[in-house]
Structure 1
Amino acid sequence: MTSTRVENLGVPWEDAYGYVQAIKRGDTIYLSGQLSHQGSDLVAPAPVDEHGAVTDFSAMGEQMRQTYLNAEELLRRFGASLDDVVEEVLYVLDIDAAFAVAGPVRKAAYRREDPQVASTLVGVTRLAFPEQLLEIKFIARV
C-alpha cells in the first residue's frame, strides 16, 4: 500500500478553493502552484489599474524568489529540498519579464549554475490574484 501525506500553509485560499499545498505519495512530492506570499500577505504585489490589469512587471524577480522560498519550506517538511525537484512549471503573466530574471533567480534558488530540473515556462492571461505575476508548481522525488 502506498503511503500518502499532505501539507498546508494555513492560508485562507486553501479552504476557499479546497486543496492541499503539497502531497507526498510514495517517493514523489507534488507541490500545488506556489506564489509569493508570507502568510496571507502577498510579497511584492504588482501594481494594478482600476480594471485589475498589471501596470508594472518589475516585481517579477522578487515574487519569483519568494515563491522558491515557499516551495523550499514545503519540501523541507517532507525531509526534501529543491535538490529533489525533478520538474517545475512556471506560469507567468509576462514571458519577457520572466526571462529577464528567471536565470539568476533559479540558479540562486537551486544553488547551482545548471539547475538539474526539467523546467517549462508558460505564459498565461490570469492567475489567482490580480497582483500575482507568477505561480510555480513542482514535482520532487525522494
Structure 2
Amino acid sequence: MTAIDSYSHNVSGEDEFGFAQAIKVGDTIYVSGQLSHDDEGNFLHPGDFDAQLQQSYKNFEKVLAHYGATRNQVASETQFIVDLPKYNTAMAAANLAYFGNHRPTSSTVGVASLFFPGQLVEISFVLDTRLPA
C-alpha cells in the first residue's frame, strides 16, 4: 500500500471546495494551483502580475518546506495566465530566476479569467522526490 500525505495552507476555500494544496503519493507530490494569498487566504495584489507571481512562489515554498523538498525536484509546472501576450515575457523571466539552472517541463495556458477578480496568474506543480534536491 502506498502512503498518502496531504498538505493544506488552512485557508478559506480549501474546505468549501474540498481540495488540498498538495498531496504526496509515493515519490510524487502533486501541488494545486498556487496563487497570491496571505496566511488567512485573503487574495493579495489584484491586477499586479509581478507581486502576484512572487506571492504565489512564496506560498509554493511553504508546500516545499512541508515535504522537505526543493524547487530542483519540480518535474513539471503549469502556468495559467490572464492576458498571456501581455505577461508572457514577465512569466518567462520569473521562471528563469526562480528555477536557475533547473529546467522542469512547463506548460503555459492563456485563460480568460481566474477565480478572484484581478487574479492574473496561478501555477500548479508536480514534483518527484527522487530528483536531486
Paired AA for residue 42 in structure 1: F
Paired AA for residue 108 in structure 2: L
Partner of residue 94, structure 1: 83
Superposed, 1:103-142 pairs within 5 Å as 103-110=92-99, 112=100, 114-142=101-129
Unpaired runs of 5+ residues, structure 1, are: 47-58
Q: Does 1:65 align with 2:93?
A: no
Q: Does 1:84 align with 2:73?
A: yes
CA RMSD between the two structures? 1.2
Partner of residue 36, structure 1: 36
Aligned partners of 2:102, 2:69: CA distance in 1, in Å? 16
Conservation of the 8 A alpha-carbon contact between 1:89 and 1:137: yes
> Equivalent pairs: percent with the same residue?
36
Partner of residue 14, structure 1: 14
TM-score by structure 1 length? 0.85
SS at match of 1:42: coil
Conservation of the 8 A alpha-carbon contact between 1:60 and 1:97: no
Aligned residues: 128
Conservation of the 8 A alpha-carbon contact between 2:43 and 2:116: no
TM-score by structure 2 length? 0.90
Structure 1 residue 61 displacement after superposition: 1.6
SS at match of 1:92: strand
Cα deviation digits, residues 17-45 of structure 1 (max 9, x gap): 11100000000000011101112222211
Cα deviation digits, residues 84-107 of structure 1 (max 9, x gap): 100000011111232131122112
Unpaired runs of 5+ residues, structure 2, are: none
Which stretches of structure 1, 4 residues or more, deviate above 3 A after TM superposition? none
